[in-house]
Amino acid sequence: MLRDAFAYTKEGVFQKTKRWVLLIVATLILTIPLLGYIAKILRAEKPAPEVQNWGTLFVDGIKMLIVEIIYFIPIIIIWIIGMFLLGPHTTGSYGTNPYGSYVASYSAAMPRHTPHPTVSPTLSPLAYPTVNLYAAAYPTAGMAGAGILGLLNLVFGIIIGILLPIALVRFARSGSFGDAFNFKAILAYIGKIGWLSYILALIIGGLVVGIPVFIVMFIISAIITVTLGFAALMVLPVVLGILYLIIMPLISVFLSRYITRVYDSVAA
């Protein structure tokens, strides 16, 4: 599977400069056309398809993006809860608190903070800076809440990482949102592949891509930092951004082909 994915990427992108450049352009456009191109690969098109019919790529890319966003809703909710409960809450002379109603509901129960020197003591307690509503008043509770939210985030991240590849293949091939969220069928298909084999395949694919990318970025970051010193803070993001644009098509094509082979390793 890995050898096939490498050959597919080499012949389809690395050795096709024009196609590579077009995929970089697709990445620049919020990666939406790139997602549409990935859908073509997940349909088991071989050799790698041409980058054409941009309208279709946009439509398919938007649909793929919708599927991904829906899958990530639990993590988005956890993030929002974390921002709401544990994020900075500042009012009064520091500006408007985006969670003003929340602060108002609980301010009476919270220990009073020393008023800011520029704030009149006759003003409402809501005019005083209230930072990290829970974490500042009750550090232990704040840390516990952050830990619980972090654990939930990890659990949902693992679940999504397992289900989403199969969901995207099913959606790309049928065009039906129902197939992308038919969890019973998705779990049954993973069972046909073999849970251990499937999870190991995902881990191996992630390591094969992640380790080289990390090494390359680390070396480039080290060279730029040593060479430019403080100026690296301005140059490094630009260089890494350009590198991301260059390698993203290669990574996307490789992983998409790899997942396709994993999916097709058993009869449908």
Indicate whether 134 pLDDT > 50. Answer: no
Domain extent, residue 9, equals 2-76+150-263
Residue 86 lies in a domain: no
Residue 172 lies in a domain: yes
Residue 222 lies in a domain: yes
Q: How many Å apart are CA 161 and CA 146, to the nearest integer?
A: 22
Is 218 within 8 Å of 225 (Cβ atoms)? no
Rounded to an integer, the average pLDDT of 71-99 is 69
Q: How many Å apart are CA 12 and CA 49, to the nearest integer?
A: 8
Indicate whether 268 pLDDT > 90. Answer: no
Nearest residue to 202 via CA among 175, 246, 169, 247 = 169
Buried-state track 187-212, b at ≥16 Cβ within 10 A, e below 16: eebbeebeeeebeebbeebeebbeee
pLDDT per position as a tens digit, 20-65: 999 999 999 989 999 999 999 999 998 999 999 999 999 999 999 9
Q: What pLDDT sits at residue 82?
A: 82
Q: What pLDDT sits at residue 149?
A: 84
- Structurally, how many domains does the chain consist of? 1
Residue corresponding to tokens 């993973």: 190
Q: How many Å apart are CA 180 and CA 171, to the nearest integer?
A: 5
